[in-house]
Amino acid sequence: MEWIEEHVNEIERYMAQGFSFTVSKDLVRIHHTAKARCLRCGDSMKKATNGVSYFCTNRKECRTAQRKLKWQMYHHRVPRERALKIVLDSLDRTYRQEGPIGENNRTTSIMQ
């Protein structure tokens, strides 16, 4: 609990952008701890030195998610947090937000 209290402002910042509490917590953890966990499968991975590795490379789906993220960031020039949201929304599991979001074609409207 202490860790969460220490980083509550950062966690809230992510939540304000539409991330779930679980994801927000993981995102902050990735930035602050030596051992980060893959946002898709939860596997531990090395901290990314370039700050853009949020998914492990152990699974095809995780590598795909990471590739999607980079594509959003570098090709569409989407800010990192928004790109993460797009990618996480496109994943079909626990991290998906409730509500009428998550269609892949949201990408185009988000670019404006």
Site residues for Zn ion per CB under 5 A: 38, 40-41, 43, 56, 62
Taking the C-alpha atoms of residue 24 and residue 47, their distance in angstroms, rounded to an integer, is: 17
User: By C-beta, is 19 or 54 nearer to Zn ion?
Assistant: 54
Q: Rounded to the nearest whole angstrom, what is the least distance from the CB of residue 39 to Zn ion in the complex?
A: 8
Q: Is 51 left (phi over 0), alpha (psi -120 to 50) or beta?
A: left
Q: Rounded to the nearest whole angstrom, what is the least distance from the CB of residue 77 to Zn ion in the complex?
A: 25
Q: Rounded to the nearest whole angstrom, what is the least distance from the CB of residue 28 to Zn ion in the complex?
A: 18
User: By C-beta, is 59 or 106 nearer to Zn ion?
Assistant: 59
Q: Rounded to the nearest whole angstrom, what is the least distance from the CB of residue 38 to Zn ion in the complex?
A: 3
User: By C-beta, is 57 or 104 nearer to Zn ion?
Assistant: 57
Buried b / exposed e over 95-110, threshold 16 CB at 10 Å, is beeeeeebeeeebeee
> What separation in angstroms does the CA of 31 have from each of 48, 52, 98, 110?
9, 10, 25, 24
User: By C-beta, is 7 or 63 nearer to Zn ion?
Assistant: 63
